[in-house]
Amino acid sequence: MAKTVLVINSGSSSIKYQLVDVENGDALASGLVEKIGEPTDGFYTHKYNGEKHKFTEPIPDHETGLKRVLEFFDQFGPNLKEYGLAAIGHRVVAGGAVFPEPALVTEKTIHQVEDLATLAPLHNGPEAKGAEVMKKLMPDVPAGFVFDSSFFQQLPAVSYTYALNKEVAEKYQIRRYGAHGTSHEYVGSVVPSLLNKPAEGLKQIVLHIGNGASASAQIGGRPVETSMGLTPLEGLVMGSRTGDIDPAVVFHLIRNAGLNVDELDKLFNKQSGMTGLTGRGDMRDVEQLAENGDENAQLALDIYHHRIVGYVGNYWAQLGGLDAITFTAGVGENSAETRAAVIDKFAFAGVKLDAEKNAIRSDEPRVISAADSSVAVCVVPTNEELAIARKVIKISEEGDVYGNKVA
Ligand code: AMP
């Protein structure tokens, strides 16, 4: 019988789920619950066996949504019992310094995840809620939290410490926590075998560029730098987030535009980045506009690439050498143009793409640099669900590092 994990990504108004076979990595079924708690009807999509089941109905809360999802598994398959459901995995954005490793879901860890909402106001509350509801609906199935920030708890102090007043930083736990850690760790772990090189000592940069975007520098699978900070706002230009910006812009807008904190949060997180520059948050649209001669879209793309190039140059120097640059996530896996725009800037240092390999579309990890490139360039499709599933199986079998064990 297969051994499967139901991975749940619970947001404020949506829930994504996937049933993962941990042995072969297959996604057996997946789905989406949208518009939870909104006055209009919500949407369900459940995908299994090449079929898509869609429903439109009111979804007042997470409990209603998740109950319906379990009904879909009963009604449309796969049957969770027959498919060996061994655990439930909950993705969490912010684990702060409290959770350097995954944790089993208990009443205490649910509260701890809730309390960490100060670090991820939009995410942690709904994530804790999702776990609480699933615990109630499936009390006998072990469940674990896997934190996007855990991998970056290994960052050295020199990269996680801001040059902010030490007392204030300590009192309010202000430091770089990073995000997308599960993806950076997973993608970084695939690269050594792809290059046929030992993992030990391998110096690499991983560019996770999707709707959210972040870069990491790793040596031997340990992170030494990352671009996201206290929250996922810092760093690269993103679909709707500014990335790096002078914090004085905040003072300026408070003083001159009279914006309050929620308006600023929305402006920086939801109305900026590619959306704010072009009106389009989807990179395919921006690339299309630029191709049609839209100069504003071209400038936005140039800004987007410019920021990535800056991070790669920075991290290359911080690493003191470089073996591989790897692209992942929606833009990194699919946009040959973005990869070329970034890598061509490093021609001066002997980094070269193989244009044909860069143009190939594939779901497989691959090397896309020329044979004589000074640094290998790779594309590795990320699989956060599989990484979460594996981690949750491990703690459900062995217990977590906080002393919790499955009864
Ligand atoms: P993710 O957040 O990893 O799911 O990435 C989503 C983003 O990937 C979308 O918003 C698109 O901007 C981008 N994307 C997907 N396919 C392509 C493509 N073929 N070319 C450029 N960007 C793409």
Cβ neighbours of residue 31 closer than 8 Å, sequence gap 6 or more: 16, 17, 18, 44, 45, 46, 47, 69, 72
- What is the position in ligand 1's atom list of the atom closest to the CA of 329? 3
Q: Can you read off the two tokens belonging to residue 38?
A: 């909104």
Distance 110 CA to ligand 1 centre (A): 32
165 contacts 286 by C-beta, under 8 angstroms: no
Residues annotated as catalytic (active site), given as ranges: 148
Q: Report d(CA 122, CA 316) in Å as an integer.
A: 33
**Quick one: pLDDT band at residue 393, thresholds 50, 70, 90?**
very high
Per-residue pLDDT at 123: 86
pLDDT tens digits, 6-33 = 999 998 888 999 999 999 999 999 999 9
CA of 335 to the centre of ligand 1 (A): 8
CA dist., res. 379 & res. 2, Å (int): 29
User: Closest residue (by CA) to atom 20 of ligand 1?
Assistant: 335
- Lowest average pLDDT, out of 5-19, 24-38, 95-109, 114-128, goes to 114-128
User: Is residue 283 in contact with ligand 1, taking CB distance under 6 Å?
Assistant: yes
pLDDT tens digits along 356-378: 999 999 999 999 999 999 999 99
- pTM, rounded to two decimals: 0.93
8 A C-beta contact, residue 137 and residue 70 = yes
- Taking residues 86-110, report their average pLDDT: 96
User: 403 Cβ partners below 8 Å, 6+ apart?
Assistant: none
State the closest ligand 1 atom to the C-alpha of 274, by its place in the atom list counted from 1: 12
Q: Which atom of ligand 1 is nearest to the CA of 382?
A: 3
pLDDT exceeds 90 at position 302: yes
Query: What are 177-227's pLDDT values in tens digits?
Result: 999 999 999 999 999 999 999 999 999 999 999 999 999 999 999 999 999
pLDDT at position 321 is 98
pLDDT of residue 145: 98
Q: Is the CB of 335 under 6 A from ligand 1?
A: yes
Question: Nearest Cα to 174, choosing from 244, 97, 79?
Answer: 97
